[in-house]
Each structure stands twice: as C-alpha cells, then as structure tokens.
C-alpha cells in the first residue's frame, strides 16, 4: 500500500493531471447537481472545503456569472489555491475558517443567502501526500493530523494524554474499530515507556496488537485507528453536525447543496439532516398540511450516489465517496 491509498479522504485532491493539478472526485456530477441554482444571475456559491481548489476552479469556469466564497482551515491550502484561482480575480473570496463558521463568514461579507453550497469532506490529498502532516499510515511522520497546524492538539497529544476509556470510545465511535480495547491497552503500556511521536511506531504497535484474523481483512489494520484520531483531532463530526444544518439555513429558496462524504459516519449525519428537511413535521391525521409543517428540502439524489467504476480505476481515492444533494424549496416559517 502506498500513501495514495492511506485514508478514507476527501477526493478534492483526486488524481493528478498535466501540470500537477488535481481532478476532484465526482466533479461533473457535483457541477450538474448545482447547475440549476448557479445559472441564475448574481449567484453565490460556497465551497466549504477549498483544499487545492479543484472544485472551486471548476465552479468558476462552468458558471462565469457566479461569485465564489471558499473556506478552508488549512493556511497552506489557502495559499496554494489562491495562486490557482488568481485568474478569476475578485470573483473568488478565500477565507481562513472552519466550515461550521459559514454563517459568520457570510455575515461579515454581507451575503444574506447563497444559491449553492458544496462540501468535500475528510482529509485533502495535499494533506495526505505531505508526509510531515502525519495523516498517512503508509509513511513514517510526526503524529500531527491537524488540518490547521496553528491550533488544537495533535494526534500524539491525544495518544499520550487521553485516559484509556476515552481512547477506546474514540476508536470505537470514530474508527468503528472492533479491537479498540486491545489497541488501547497496547498504547497505554507503550506510552508509559516512551511517549508516541511518529506514525510508524503506532502502525507497528497496531499490527502487533491485533489477532491474525483481524489483520487478514479490510486493508491496512491501522486505517481505522488513524481515521479515529484524525476525526478527534479536528473535531470533524461535531463540526459537521453544526455545519450542515447551518448551510441549509444559508440557502436561498431554489438554492442547492451537494455533500461528498468518505465514511459512513459522515454520510449518516448528512443523510439525517437532509431527510429531516425533506419530511413533513405535521401531526398525523391533518386533512391539509399547514405551511409551517411543509418540507423545506427536496432530495436530489436517490440515496447516496457512488463514483463510477471508471473513476475509481483512475483514482482509487474516489472509491469510498458518497454524494448526496438537496434543494431548498421553502423558507422557514415562524
């Protein structure tokens, strides 16, 4: 296994094409989902997970009348994508922010509602491919995993300081790791001898801790632990839990949202928010459903859409991707 297969991750880095540029996962489908909303005059689209700017560049190119607001917590990503998007001038506004800060960002920019929103979740290819970020278990690196390296605790701090019970909870909840107790027991023994600092030592510990049967299925045995640590370090699920409802509220009527997820925990959360918005909240038995109980969203995808076999063959990072879309069809009432 190489670094390009390292984690369930956002496809925003995708495969490379000429000049080192990347092609995002399910790009054409994302553009098509958002198109009816973004072909309106004066449309504003938000790329909540800018990364290296692949989706943003495509949005600005496909919809020449649209304005882009793009968010990322990674300052290096903002620098690199800023160079990429420079030809679009003031049509693109790049902001250093986490995506649950979207309402505040739009408020500061004086934008009451937007017509399109895109999320491409998880760790970007830039973060995955840079060994010193510590996201990839296939290469030795400092155990960092922070998407914003200027804030928060690192993965090493989590491993070295969290109580055993909390580590077990994290591995089970965020990595769906069945062998969490066994792995954590080994971590606690080893950290008492010497604190963890690098990914290779953790990978070796996990390999040694797991029974043979667990090592024979599901790819690299470290992947679930690394996913769990990354989600904990970056608060990914709690941020997403706030961000998706806030994004829906930021949509104009007729506006559309598309979300690419890369593991079941993310996808389940997005599914729940969209399903709740698309359901009536009226008490059963009413002959006519009043406006305040009518659905706010219309689902644009039947379940979660998957990448094509051709795309997966070109870019194995696309394999876990799940795409869901929805359209805002009513204002909130009351």
pLDDT of residue 214: 62
pLDDT of residue 147: 81
Give the pLDDT mean for 134-145.
Answer: 72
Q: Is residue 301 part of a domain?
A: yes
Give the pLDDT mean for 315-327.
Answer: 92
117 and 21, same domain (yes or no)? yes
**212: pLDDT strictly greater than 70:** yes
**Which domain, by its residues, includes 183?**
132-234
User: Does 90 carry a binding-site annotation?
Assistant: no
Q: Is residue 82 part of a domain?
A: yes
Closest CA to 67 of 85, 93, 49: 93
Q: Is residue 148 part of a domain?
A: yes
Closest CA to 135 of 57, 53, 44, 74: 74
DSSP calls for 112-165: --EEEEEEE-S--HHHHH-GGG---TTS--BS---SSTTSS--HHHHHHHS-HH
pLDDT band at 6 (very low <50, low <70, confident <90, very high): very low
**302: pLDDT strictly greater than 80:** yes
User: Does 55 carry a binding-site annotation?
Assistant: yes
Q: Is residue 333 part of a domain?
A: no
Query: Parallel, antiparallel, or unpaired for β 297-299 and 322-328?
Result: antiparallel
**216: pLDDT strictly greater than 50:** yes
**219: pLDDT strictly greater than 80:** no
Phi, psi for residue 257 in degrees, rounded to 5: -130, 140
**How is residue 316 annotated by DSSP?**
G
Radius of gyration of the chain (CA): 21
Give the pLDDT mean for 77-85.
Answer: 94
Quote the number of domains for the chain: 2
98 and 141, same domain (yes or no)? no
Q: Are 131 and 3 in contact (CB under 8 A)?
A: yes
User: Does 174 carry a binding-site annotation?
Assistant: no
122 and 8, same domain (yes or no)? yes
Which of 4-13, 35-44, 123-132, 136-145 is the least confident region? 4-13
100 and 148, same domain (yes or no)? no
User: Does 165 carry a binding-site annotation?
Assistant: no
143 and 185, same domain (yes or no)? yes
21 and 140, same domain (yes or no)? no
Q: Are 150 and 142 in contact (CB under 8 A)?
A: no
Q: Is residue 334 part of a domain?
A: no
137 and 207, same domain (yes or no)? yes
Q: Which of 186, 210, 234 is the last residue of a domain?
A: 234
15 and 109, same domain (yes or no)? yes
pTM: 0.84
171 and 107, same domain (yes or no)? no
User: Does 32 carry a binding-site annotation?
Assistant: no
pLDDT band at 210 (very low <50, low <70, confident <90, very high): confident
User: Does 100 carry a binding-site annotation?
Assistant: no
Give the pLDDT mean for 70-83.
Answer: 92
316 and 284, same domain (yes or no)? yes
Q: Which of 200, 234, 268 is the last residue of a domain?
A: 234
- Mean pLDDT, the chain, rounded, equals 86
Closest CA to 223 of 3, 64, 45, 51: 3
CATH of the domain at 314: 3.40.50.150
pLDDT band at 14 (very low <50, low <70, confident <90, very high): very low
How many percent of the chain have pLDDT more than 90? Answer: 66
**17: pLDDT strictly greater than 80:** no
Q: Is residue 65 part of a domain?
A: yes
User: Does 110 carry a binding-site annotation?
Assistant: no
Q: Are 13 and 238 in contact (CB under 8 A)?
A: no
40-60 exposure pattern, b = at least 16 Cβ within 10 A, e = fewer: beebbbbbbbbbbbbbbbbbb
Q: Which of 171, 205, 234 is the last residue of a domain?
A: 234
104 and 19, same domain (yes or no)? yes
**163: pLDDT strictly greater than 70:** yes
pLDDT of residue 23: 66
Phi, psi for residue 4 in degrees, rounded to 5: -80, -5
Q: Is residue 38 part of a domain?
A: yes
CATH of the domain at 171: 1.10.150.170
104 and 157, same domain (yes or no)? no
pLDDT of residue 191: 95
């Amino acid at each position: 296994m190489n670094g390009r297969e390292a984690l369930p991750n956002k496809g925003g880095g995708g495969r490379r094409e000429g000049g080192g540029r990347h092609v995002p996962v399910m790009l054409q489908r994302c553009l098509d989902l958002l198109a009816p909303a973004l072909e309106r005059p004066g449309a504003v689209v938000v790329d909540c997970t800018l990364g290296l700017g692949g989706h943003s560049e495509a949005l600005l190119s496909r919809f020449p009348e649209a304005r882009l607001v793009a968010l990322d917590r990674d300052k290096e990503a903002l620098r690199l994508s800023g160079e990429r998007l420079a030809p679009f001038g003031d049509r693109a506004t790049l902001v250093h922010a986490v995506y649950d800060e979207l309402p505040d960002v739009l408020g500061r920019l004086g934008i009451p509602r937007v017509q399109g929103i895109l999320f491409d979740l998880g760790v970007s290819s830039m973060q995955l491919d840079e060994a010193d970020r510590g996201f990839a278990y296939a290469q030795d690196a400092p155990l960092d995993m922070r998407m914003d390296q200027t804030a928060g605790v690192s993965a090493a701090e989590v491993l070295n300081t969290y109580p055993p019970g909390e580590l077990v909870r994290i591995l089970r909840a965020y990595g769906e790791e069945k062998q969490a107790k066994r792995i954590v027991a080994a971590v606690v023994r080893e950290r008492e001898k010497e604190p963890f600092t690098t990914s290779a030592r953790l990978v070796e510990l996990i390999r040694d801790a797991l029974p043979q049967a667990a090592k024979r299925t599901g790819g690299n045995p470290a992947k679930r632990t690394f996913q769990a640590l990354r989600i904990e370090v970056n608060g990914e699920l709690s941020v997403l839990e706030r961000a998706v409802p806030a994004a829906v509220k930021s949509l104009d009527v007729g506006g559309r949202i598309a979300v690419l997820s890369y593991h079941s925990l993310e996808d389940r959360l997005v599914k729940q928010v969209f399903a709740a918005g698309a359901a009536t909240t009226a008490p059963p038995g009413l002959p006519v459903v009043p406006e305040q109980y009518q659905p706010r969203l219309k689902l644009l995808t039947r379940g979660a859409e998957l990448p094509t076999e051709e795309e997966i063959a070109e870019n194995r990072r696309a394999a876990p991707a799940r795409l869901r879309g929805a359209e805002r069809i009513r204002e909130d009432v009351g």
